Every structure is written in structure tokens, then in C-alpha cells.
Amino acid sequence: MILSPLTLFQFTGALLFFIGATCMIFKRTFIGMLIGVEIMLNGAGLSLVAASQLTTADSATGQIGALLIMGLAAAEATLVLAIALVVYRRFKTVESEKVATLRG
């Protein structure tokens, strides 16, 4: 059985999404969770671009969607790193389990 390129790209995107979700579940630091979300967003972007390039859909739609996902990932990374920096300054750790109270 020969798989089409679209199937291979979709499988790779789903695998990346699963790896990112697993990383988010098992990592307990904010940086580990950030890496998990980034991997998940990359998997979603790969699936979106592959679907738009390898089907009859307009290829610009997938590319615009991928750019939107990249912008979302950059904003999310900035926000999480800023929160991790503030948490580290206050609690001297970035492990999410050790940070019990987050009050001003």
C-alpha cells in the first residue's frame, strides 16, 4: 500500500501534535510546557500547509494560516517567558508544582 504525500504530512503533523501534548502533560516547568505548546503549534501548521498545498484548495490560504500560527506562537512564547521570569524572581523556581500561590 502506497501512502499519498498528504497522508504522510498529516501523519507527521499529528505525531508532532501528540509529542507536544505529551511534553505538556509530563513536563513540570514552564519552559518545558512552552516547548510542548510550540511543538503542537508546529504540527498544526505543518498539517495546514500540507493540506492546502496538496489538495485543490488555494495554497495561499494555508500559507496565511501558517503565518497566523507563527504569530500566535511568538506571542505565546513572549507571554510565557515573561510569566516565567516573574515567577522565578518571586519564588526562585520555575517548576509549576512548587508555585502554589500566585498573588500580587
Question: pLDDT in tens for each of the 104 residues of the chain?
Answer: 788 888 999 999 999 999 999 999 998 888 888 999 999 999 999 999 999 988 888 878 888 999 999 999 999 999 989 988 988 888 888 787 777 765 65
> What are the structural domains, with CATH classification, of the chain?
5-91 (1.10.287.3510)
Tell me what pLDDT residue 87 has: 84
User: Could you give the residue ranges of the DSSP H alpha helices within the chain?
Assistant: 5-26, 30-53, 59-91
The CA distances from residue 60 to 20, 40, 41, 45, in Å, are 26, 22, 19, 13
Supply the pLDDT for residue 104: 58
